[in-house]
Chain A
Amino acid sequence: MSRPDPRMRLAILGGKLTARASRSLRMGGGTTLPGDVARAIDPLVLRKLGASPGRGTVLVTGTNGKTTTSALLRQIAAAAGWRAGGNQSGSNLIYGLTAAAIAQADLRGRMELDWLVLEVDELSAAAAAREMQPQILVVLNAFRDQLDRSFEVDQVAARLGEAVAALPPTAAAVLNSDDPRIAALAGPPKALLFGIEDRGVDRGGLPESADRPVCPRCGGSLQFGAVYYGQCGDYRCPACGWSRPTPSLRVTRVLTAGLDHVELTLEGPGGGAGPLEVPLAGAHNAANVAAAALAALEMGATWDQIGRGLRAFRPAFGRSQVVRWGQGQVRLLLAKNPAGMQASLEAVLGGDSGPVLGLALNDGIADGTDISWIWDVEFERLAADGPRWIVVSGRRAAELGLRLRYAGVDGSRLLLRPAPEEALDELAERAAPGMPAPALLTYTAMLAWHRAVVGTGEAEPFWREG
């Protein structure tokens, strides 16, 4: 930023003014529109700002776990004494990234930041990598998501491959060795792998929601020795011999009793951490923690700093976040696609989570207007097991209720409460004392419930920068 760049400065000014106007007009959090305005003034603004953080930029992408992994990474950065910023609001298309970068910059494009940690939509990751030239790209997984508008999963994986290929030669790709499509992306520049290695959390087969597991190398059918979540596990291809590459950072122990926390042990490279408790639920979150730890090592953090950061972590918006409602408490768990819903459901059933469970299904654009995916989630497991009561909510509550009946759940256990307030009432009332009632929610259902809670003053608006 040595030479003045009037066009970029004008773009930043335009973006900042738009953000202010958007907030004061209550048009939302001002998380995207400023990016639109700034890019209209200077299409290269994000490219220019990509060089502004003192140490560099980290991009986090994948279908599930982006927000949590980015938040973990920012927490570790803080423990390492670095100033880290990002797009905590979750606006993760290229316009949202631009808006977040502008919010961090001063009018000359300078940032008082060491690291910019941004979560990026899977289909925007290649463009973001090209523009921002990050030091690190974290790729978590590729699941079916929003069938009404997304690419097929193989195409998503191909776009993630483009993102890896767009990295500068000095950068590193942090990849999930348990997801065959992601492990197959390993190649230049530098690939660092993380994975789970604890058969104790093997679910004993692929869930219904997983796609046909195809070998990315030869197209043969993969065989799994263990499955932890989605199509992620220990696999090999009998046809060509390709198998899960050995990760350099391994989660050697995962204890998932209850929704309060997972207890993890991380090993290598150059040390380890744990057992440590992280306030997240389910085996899939063990992978998010591993991804954040491996990226942090590459950023230059020590194992000691990683351990301290993880212990200090508090859940991001709607990711195992506990809110108060009346006399009771509710734990909000985002479940935006079949893999996420399946993993969260298994976390709920994995321990004693109390007498009542909430499920909310919306069909807004951000949820995906096609809700047929709920028929691929194994709700059958609720038929013989699980909470006494199931509160069914959202714009498509009746459809979800029908799905549960067809799963064999007795109708007398179902409480159809479409509106967030009435569902929250029911959950808070029926929750056991001191035990938050878990609620699995699609994206806009989460926003609607959160707004209801914010209305009572029990939680902060979601766009508040951490």
Chain B
Amino acid sequence: MPGSGSLRLGVLYPLEMNLYGDRGNVLALVRRAALRGVELEVRTLGLDTGDPDDIAACSGFLIGGGQDLDQLALAHDLVAGKGPALREQVADGAPLLAVCAGYQLLGEHYRTAAGDLIPGLGILPLRTEAGRRRLVGNVLVAANAGLGLANPLLVGFENHSGRTILEPGLSPLGKVVRGRGNDGESGLEGAVLGSVLGTYLHGPLLPKNPALADWWLFTAADRAGTTVDRSQLDDSAEEAARREAIRITLSGSRTRGYRLLGRRPRIRRTG
């Protein structure tokens, strides 16, 4: 267990699960921890690394998005290899933030378009099936009040063919204000259970949602008994990026680009 003044972030499969700028989430946590007087050490938990001792030494975890093929390749390592140690850590209160494909892998299973059943960790009571059309675009989510976020309006971008259905009783991360969310129908986005948070929002998620980065840091610090400065930071650059993203999401104008081109958009089938 890291001593006072330092925390350790375990990044799961950074090589395979980094499709949508997920590296930005790591940068946000490291930067924010430093501003709050804590050193955040980053440890890679990849296909060839991350034994149970490594996992036990981490204060919290991140897992990002990846292509279907990559997801299939590492599902076994995650479920059978790292699963037991990881489950123990989050049961003890270590934060785990999972984005997109990582979110799907925390559920019971993911059924791909080809019909393959990818087993999940089963940490979150949910399941995912590939849908016909991808759900793509900017998203605004009103976060679950239970998280106690300083700013409960989350901004991000989604791009997934999976339709995720939560079991009754599982809390969503929040309600969709703009965008599609878990399944495009329920109006719900993501899932939260204890210190585990799953979502389809990338963009990446944490730089534009500093309140959520703080949730991760404070959860990790509480559990590790590490002191962090919890005062309000100067988030003016983050706020500017949020305002820009919110304005574009609300305007919903996605046509400007092709009008300039004199070209009409061709909708392509995506995998």
Contact = CB atoms under 8 A, between A and B. Distances in A.
Nearest to A414: B237
Nearest to A374: B21
Given A155-B271, A372-B20, A395 B248 contact: yes
B271 A151 contact: yes
A36 B245 CA distance: 34
B240 A402 contact: yes
A401 interface: yes
A444 interface: yes
Given A149-B136, A370-B159, A444-B257, A398 B262 contact: no
B263 A398 contact: no
B135 to A, nearest CB: 11
A53 B204 CA distance: 48
B161 to A, nearest CB: 11
A91 B261 CA distance: 8
A365 B264 CA distance: 10
Nearest to A92: B263
Given A149-B136, A372-B202, A448-B260, A365 B254 contact: yes
Given A364-B256, A365-B255, A401 B19 contact: no
Contacts of A411: 237
Contact of B260 (A155, A366, A374, A375): A366
Interface in A1-59: 22, 27-33
A402 B69 contact: no
Nearest to B48: A221
Nearest to B261: A366
A149 B161 CA distance: 12
A390 B70 CA distance: 37
A379 B256 CA distance: 27
Interface string B244-271: 1100100000111110111111101011
A399 B245 contact: yes
A261 to B, nearest CB: 29
B260 A447 contact: yes
B91 interface: no
Interface in B190-234: 202-204, 207-208
A373 B19 CA distance: 8
B27 A406 contact: yes
B28 A406 contact: yes
Contacts of A371: 157, 203
B237 A405 contact: yes
A398 B244 contact: yes
B24 interface: yes
A67 interface: no
A149 B241 CA distance: 23
Contacts of A416: 240
Interface string A373-411: 111100000000000000000011111011101110001
Interface in B10-56: 15-16, 18-24, 27-28, 31
A436 to B, nearest CB: 24
Contact of B270 (A27, A149, A154, A399): A149
A152 B261 contact: no
Contacts of B264: 32
Contacts of A396: 244-245, 248
B137 A369 contact: yes
A362 interface: yes
Contacts of B104: none
B92 interface: no
B88 interface: no
B4 interface: no
Contacts of A365: 254-258, 265
Contact of A376 (B18, B203, B258): B18
A212 B270 contact: no
Contacts of B255: 365
Contacts of B186: none
B59 interface: no
A162 interface: no
Contacts of A407: 27
Contact of B261 (A28, A148, A369, A405): A28
Contacts of A374: 21
Contacts of B70: 212
A96 B263 contact: yes
14 contacts: A22-B262, A28-B261, A29-B262, A93-B263, A96-B263, A147-B19, A147-B159, A148-B136, A148-B137, A212-B15, A369-B136, A396-B245, A398-B244, A401-B241
Given A150-B268, A366-B260, A375-B27, 17 more contacts: A28-B262, A91-B263, A148-B157, A148-B159, A154-B67, A212-B15, A364-B258, A369-B136, A372-B24, A373-B20, A374-B21, A375-B207, A401-B237, A403-B207, A406-B31, A407-B27, A416-B240
Leading 3 A-B pairs by shortest Cβ distance? A364-B257, A28-B262, A375-B21
